[in-house]
Amino acid sequence: MNKSFNNLFVCLLLICFGGDVQAASNWKVAYEQNFEKIEEGRLPDDFFVLDGRFSVQQRNARKCLILPGNPVGEFGFLFGPRFGLETMELSFSCLGGFRSRRHSAFSGAIGGIRGLHYRINPSSRKGILSYLDDWKHDDHITWESKEWMRVCIKIVPQPVKQGMLISLKTHLESESMGPKEGFTTFLKGTLSGKCALWGYSYAEKEMRWDDILILTR
């Protein structure tokens, strides 16, 4: 692990754990992708595109994953290893945009396509979690469509209660050491499968992702 990546890794851990170094040290990296080693115009080998013209490109001296603003629709990809009953956290940085009252929206799933779904709705400033067809929870989040945002989703299994605690937090990427806002809720059930990310280009503007990180313990 080189010095620059080590600094980035520590920073991301502090982002996700609010500066609690002791809590961060209990976790291990199960997957990480910052796109620096991916050739422009290509994709990481482990990405399985469900739909959409995704590619790695350079933007403002930053290599990241790009989804064109047109055509407008729902586009996504699967990535990384399969996960089961372990405690885990998925985090990533993203940048969307807006036009008039239309904001680009970010979404994804943990535990396969039929796993836990989450959606960041910038228009209503809500994070929405859903599972299968019979469970849904939504709550307030902080969001800014003009700046890079950091999204963190943590799952902690609760075997005795036959379910899991789920927390969703968002904050400005530039405020890595600042306060985070989000919510925590309980879901009955278990998850198993890969992770997925989607983009909804409602604003007809380019969407970007970077620094995808999965931690487990």
Percent residues over pLDDT 70 in the chain: 86
pLDDT at 179: 53
pLDDT single digits (tens) 111-168: 988 899 999 999 999 999 999 888 999 999 989 999 999 999 999 999 999 999 999 9
CATH number of 28-216: 2.60.120.560
Average pLDDT value for residue range 66-73: 94
pTM over 0.75: yes
Give me the pLDDT at residue 165, please: 96
pLDDT at residue 18 tops 60: no
pLDDT of residue 16 exceeding 70, the answer is no
Structure tokens at 104: 């680009």
How many CB atoms are closer than 10 A to CB 16?
Answer: 23
So where are the chain's domains? Answer: 28-216
- C-beta separation of 116 from 110 below 8 A: yes
Q: What is the pLDDT of residue 198?
A: 96
The per-residue pLDDT for range 82-116, each reduced to its tens digit, is 988 789 999 999 999 888 889 999 999 999 888 99
